[in-house]
Structure 1
Amino acid sequence: MRNFTKFILLLLLAAGGFFVHTKYRLFTLPSQQPVFQTERPVRRTIVHKKQFCGNIIPCKEVTIHTHIPGIVDKLFVKEGDLVQKGTAIARITIQPNTDKVEQAKSALRSAIIKRDKIRKTFLRDRVLFTKKMLAQEAYEATLAAWEDAKEQVAIAEKQLTITRCGYIKVPQGENSNIVKATTKGIALALPAKEGSMVNVSREGKNSAVVVIGDMENLLFSAKVHETDVVYLRKGMTFPITLNALKKEKLQVTLTHISPKANDEYKNQGEILFEIQGTIAKSKNKKIYLRAGYVGIAEIILDQAKNVLTVPENLIEREGEADVVKCLDNGKPINKKVRLGLSDGLHAEVKEGLTEMDQLIIEKTL
């Protein structure tokens, strides 16, 4: 009986404690006002800019192809060498084909036989013409045939030499199997290596031997999205920062905007336009620019100086309006604002706030 009485007393005591705690929560805590952390709008300059990537390319780039098929016997330049117009790049050697060599020999023998036969006729007619026993027209015809026969033998001899060796000597001492530079520049690439085969096709797709670029004058080339290309115009200047040279900024003058989107990227669902611009020479003579460097262009589209701004993360949508939570006499309220430019972190406030307003950035108890 005593244990039961103790149990009842403990139960009543617990119920009383719970009642007192509930009363405290209901009547005491609500009387405490919430505390808000605030900040004021700040005046700053807002810059609206676009960034896109591109590459440095030579202003002029020429790929020189072989004019005869064969094997690259010797390369006279290395990648990075400065070459002048007419510089020897490579020597091509033809691998003799036995059947073609025999055909060339046969053609030469036939040409010699024909020449010797015409020579006898020419010598006879020359004697007759000297004795005025042959008309001038007949003599001139025999003379022309003799000259043509000699030319055919010379051609057959050259053809045999080419078939055997792949080249012939010319009067200046140069060989016809030498591939030469057609322009001045830097040897950017040598697709054909010593010992590799080079071919000539009827479609004109001959094997490439060397790629030469004008590295004195460089271009910035990029493919820009359709939403960004609308802001570009020829003649505008903008800086680029190179990934390889973080501290160096180069000035670019836009010279070309493609009137047509790139077909290659159209098939991938992207509409990109190719642009190019000339790169101004850097004042830093120690840096060396290489073709293929990646550059990040930064174009300022618009800016607002010394304007009232708020952080982007404090702006909310309320129906069709933009609002910002502010503290007014200790109570939070939503103030409608009219926004201007934004840089992604801060937005310009044209109407709705003053420098004295308190923006709620955090609520604490």
Structure 2
Amino acid sequence: MNKIVKYIIIGVLVLGALWAAAFFIKSNSKSAIVYETKTPFISNIEKKTVATGKVVPEDEVEIKPQITGIIDKIFLKEGADVKAGDLIAVIKVVPNEQSLNQAQGRVRNAEIALKNTTIEYERNKKLYERGVISNQDFNNLQLQYDQAVQELDNSKADYRIIRIGSAGGSSSANTDIRATVTGTILEIPVEEGVQVIQSNNFNDGTTIATIADLGKMIFEGKVDEGEVAKLELGMPLKISLGAIEDKELDAELRFIAPKGIEETGAVQFKIEGDVQVPDDFMIRAGYSANASLVLEKKDSVMVIPEALLQFDKETDEPYVEIETGEQKFERKDIETGISDGVNVEIVSGLSMEDKVKEWNKTEPIKKGEEEEDENEEDTE
């Protein structure tokens, strides 16, 4: 009887040990990953680059005064459409006291000179009519008299220009600030009461307004030196505006800078493109924009997803693994062409029938393991 109990106890222990071993193996074992495959396919592929920049008017005209003074009145606001000749602002002249005094003195001197010349002219005119003096002497006196009259007119005109800004008694000539081109007022950087300086050889002068035609816009951006050699004038661009979603504008590359500029360790080259603006669409100056350029394009070539590529650790050459049997794969070196970041061209090494391994696939986490991981996180 004791032997039977002993055998029973031994059997129970053995069964318990087997059950514990089986449970341990099952709980710690992971099922093998089943790799899926994909076959090459025919597609069009484009290699693109994106240039960041902004959209600006092709020409911006700065309106500057022809006389120094103070802004008396501004008639238009920023954003207003103007035509050449439209009045924008009026300047009130504040004459320089010294210049004004000199002009007044010149007028007095001209009046004195004319008075003296007139007396001499009238006296000799009577003598000429009597035949006392010659024709040549009288002509010389006539010339002096005419010059004195002209000098008085000139001195009075200069005095009026200094005092009121116009020689004709009206200030419309110099003190009226008018648009010189047709377009939109982008900016009026001055206010009423601000003193402005005229444009001359030594000073650019104060800008009263900036005008541009918003129907003629260009894209200004920069591209990396590694891509600028692939650009050609006349290439089509697709312009995406940061401020306007789901809207692309066509453009044409018109300028590539001959000299690069180093920025943050990389050499960048400036590019410009003529933007085609629809008549019913308005673009504000300075919109940030991206220009998409097609550097290279191939039609109807064999491609595979770029994620299928693997690279040799020593040579850095690309290769893939193709299926030779049920979940059996072998390495195959390939030659690639251009890539669009999603698909890559296969130049050689693969056929359309090859099944390429998705090598970077991971095993999905089971529901029980997810719950166990969550419980461990909560415990921590």
Query: Which residue, out of 341, 345, 350, partners 2:347?
Result: 350
Q: TM-score, normalised by structure 2?
A: 0.78
1:278 counterpart = 2:274: yes
Distance in 1, matches of 2:253 and 2:124, equals 75
Paired-residue identity, % = 24
Distance in 2, matches of 1:274 and 1:35, equals 50
Unaligned 5+ segments in structure 2 are 1-13, 365-380
- Displacement of 1:126: 2.0
Could you tell me which residue of structure 2 aligns to residue 12 of structure 1?
A: none
> Which amino acid counterpart does residue 303 of structure 1 have in structure 2?
K
Could you tell me which residue of structure 2 aligns to residue 161 of structure 1?
A: 160
- Displacement of 1:210: 1.8
Query: Which residue, out of 331, 336, 340, partners 1:339?
Result: 336
- Displacement of 1:49: 0.6
1:117 counterpart = 2:112: no
- Displacement of 1:120: 1.0
- Displacement of 1:123: 1.5
SS at match of 2:119: helix
What does 1:235-314 align with in structure 2 at a 5 Å threshold? Answer: 235-261=234-260, 265-266=261-262, 269-282=265-278, 285-304=279-298, 305=300, 307-312=302-307, 314=309
Moved more, 94-103 or 230-239: 94-103
- Displacement of 1:142: 1.9
Change over 3 Å in CA distance of 1:83–1:147 after alignment to 2: farther
Distance in 2, matches of 1:362 and 1:270, equals 36
SS at match of 1:105: helix
What does 1:1-365 align with in structure 2 at a 5 Å threshold? Answer: 34-43=32-41, 44-169=43-168, 174-200=172-198, 202-261=201-260, 265-266=261-262, 269-282=265-278, 285-304=279-298, 305=300, 307-312=302-307, 314-320=309-315, 321-329=317-325, 330-353=327-350, 354-362=353-361, 364=363
Distance in 2, matches of 1:88 and 1:251, equals 36
- Displacement of 1:326: 4.6
Contact residue 92 and residue 166 of structure 1 kept, 8 A: no
Contact residue 324 and residue 335 of structure 1 kept, 8 A: yes
- Aligned CA RMSD, in angstroms, stands at 3.5
Contact residue 66 and residue 174 of structure 2 kept, 8 A: no
- Displacement of 1:140: 2.2
Q: TM-score, normalised by structure 1?
A: 0.81
Distance in 1, matches of 2:181 and 2:26, equals 91
- Displacement of 1:251: 1.2
- Displacement of 1:27: 10
Distance in 2, matches of 1:73 and 1:340, equals 68
Distance in 2, matches of 1:125 and 1:167, equals 38
> Which amino acid counterpart does residue 307 of structure 1 have in structure 2?
M
Change over 3 Å in CA distance of 1:167–1:194 after alignment to 2: farther
Could you tell me which residue of structure 2 aligns to residue 13 of structure 1?
A: none
Distance in 2, matches of 1:159 and 1:212, equals 32
Distance in 1, matches of 2:78 and 2:28, equals 80
Distance in 2, matches of 1:241 and 1:276, equals 15
Distance in 2, matches of 1:161 and 1:319, equals 88
> Which amino acid counterpart does residue 98 of structure 2 have in structure 1?
D
Distance in 2, matches of 1:280 and 1:116, equals 69
Deviations along 1:28-75, one digit per CA (max 9) or x if unpaired, are 999997333323135244321111123222233221221211111122
- Displacement of 1:116: 0.9
Unaligned 5+ segments in structure 1 are 1-15
Distance in 2, matches of 1:90 and 1:32, equals 83
SS at match of 1:118: helix
- Displacement of 1:85: 2.4
Distance in 1, matches of 2:26 and 2:348, equals 41
Change over 3 Å in CA distance of 1:136–1:233 after alignment to 2: farther
Change over 3 Å in CA distance of 1:270–1:69 after alignment to 2: farther
> Which amino acid counterpart does residue 320 of structure 2 have in structure 1?
V
Contact residue 320 and residue 357 of structure 2 kept, 8 A: no
Distance in 2, matches of 1:317 and 1:359, equals 16
- Displacement of 1:110: 1.6
Distance in 2, matches of 1:109 and 1:30, equals 116
> Which amino acid counterpart does residue 349 of structure 1 have in structure 2?
I
Distance in 2, matches of 1:176 and 1:34, equals 89
> Which amino acid counterpart does residue 238 of structure 2 have in structure 1?
P
Deviations along 1:182-210, one digit per CA (max 9) or x if unpaired, are 22222222223221111135414211122
